[in-house]
């Protein structure tokens, strides 16, 4: 190939690469198709919502293991059950030796319900989760039945829960749409909203012989990485993959993001949140574009 031909071919290749880069760097304008998916590699299923309206999505109503995103529903059920934040709960052997992640409770430790709730929501601690559930219900199955009843009240009609801590169990599933409904309902409770907005916390464990103060950090790595992050919950199991629900607010716009089984959870979340706020700022969101598609309840 002569020099001009090589130059033309090189320019064409460069233009293609620029077009691909621009497609990822700039948020796509909202369209009315039900599965508008400008980020096909973001996650197996996802939803991005700006000011209550769907912006982008993939496999919105496909069933998927919810991992520890389940704990938001567990928290709602606990808080609806004559909640006493000062109640002192005893840690069982099952709770102390459950599957990680754990905050480090020992068999026989006594902890406050409020401390355990913080550890469950911020650090996704399964030992704290089981302490709360065991002291609230005669069995995990009985508690799961209450979870499913509460999910039905929220309109989560494509979900079913078996284990309150989000372990992989046959018959445990949800969808991006249903989990968005759950997240918005949970965040509407100021007790949950306050906890998930914190970056670090601690739990006091009294063994009767000595008192230990166990410090932990939020599993939400978006804190400190971009302005406006308000929470909310992470999750991971072998079956579910890496999952995330995030909520952020900038310049009067609120963005919700649900990622289910995302290979690059934090990079994608940051990128999609920035793009969603950019779309809102220039009026390319569903409500402003005049083609609303409501999602995830009110």
Structure tokens at 295: 């999602």
- Cα–Cα dist 15/8, whole Å: 11
Q: Is 71 a catalytic residue?
A: yes
Mean pLDDT on 7-18: 37
Write the pLDDT tens digit of every residue in 180-224. Answer: 999 999 999 999 999 999 999 999 999 988 999 999 999 999 999
Angstrom CA distances, 142 to 78, 125, 137, 156, 167, stand at: 13, 21, 7, 19, 16
57, 68, 92, 112: the active-site residue = 68
57, 71, 137, 159: the active-site residue = 71
- Cα–Cα dist 236/275, whole Å: 25
Instruction: Write the burial class of residue 2 (CB in 10 Å: 0-12 exposed, 13-18 middle, 19+ buried).
Output: exposed
Domain 31-289 has CATH 3.40.710.10: yes
57, 101, 112, 124: the active-site residue = 124
Q: What is the pLDDT of residue 261?
A: 98
Helix, strand and coil percent figures for the chain, each rounded to 5 = 40, 20, 40
Distance of CA 160 to the CA centre of its chain: 17
- Cα–Cα dist 296/277, whole Å: 19
Q: Is 174 a catalytic residue?
A: no
Q: What are the sequence ranges of the domains in the chain?
A: 31-289
Write the pLDDT tens digit of every residue in 18-65. Answer: 333 333 333 333 333 445 788 999 999 999 999 999 999 999 999 999
Q: What is the pTM of this model?
A: 0.85
Cβ pair 108, 102 in contact under 8 A: no
Q: Name residue 229's beta-bridge partners.
A: 248
């Amino acid at each position: 190939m002569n020099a001009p031909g090589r130059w033309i071919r090189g320019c064409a290749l460069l233009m293609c690469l620029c077009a691909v880069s621009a497609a990822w760097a700039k948020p796509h304008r909202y369209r009315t198709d039900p599965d508008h998916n400008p980020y096909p590699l973001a996650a197996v299923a996802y939803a991005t919502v700006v000011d209550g309206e769907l912006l982008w999505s993939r496999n919105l109503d496909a069933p998927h293991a919810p991992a520890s995103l389940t704990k938001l529903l567990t928290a709602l059920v606990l808080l609806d059950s004559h909640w006493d934040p000062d109640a002192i709960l005893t840690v069982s052997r099952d709770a102390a030796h459950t599957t990680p992640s754990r905050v480090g409770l020992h068999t026989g430790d006594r902890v406050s319900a409020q401390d355990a709730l913080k550890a469950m929501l911020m650090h996704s601690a399964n030992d704290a989760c089981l302490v709360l559930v065991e002291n609230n219900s005669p069995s995990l199955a009985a508690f799961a039945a209450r979870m499913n009843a509460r999910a039905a009240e929220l309109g989560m009609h494509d979900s079913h829960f078996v284990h309150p801590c989000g372990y992989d169990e046959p018959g445990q599933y949800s969808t991006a749409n249903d989990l968005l409904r759950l997240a918005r309902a949970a965040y509407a409770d100021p007790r949950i909203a306050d906890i998930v907005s914190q970056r670090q916390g601690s739990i006091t464990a009294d063994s009767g012989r000595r008192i230990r103060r166990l410090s932990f950090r939020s599993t939400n790595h978006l804190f400190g990485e971009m302005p406006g992050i308000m929470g909310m919950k992470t999750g991971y199991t072998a079956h579910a993959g890496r999952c995330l629900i995030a909520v952020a607010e900038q310049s009067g716009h609120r963005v919700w993001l649900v990622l289910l089984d995302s290979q690059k959870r934090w990079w994608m979340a940051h990128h999609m949140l920035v793009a969603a706020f950019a779309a809102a700022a220039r009026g390319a969101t569903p409500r402003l574009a005049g083609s609303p598609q409501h999602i995830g309840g009110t």
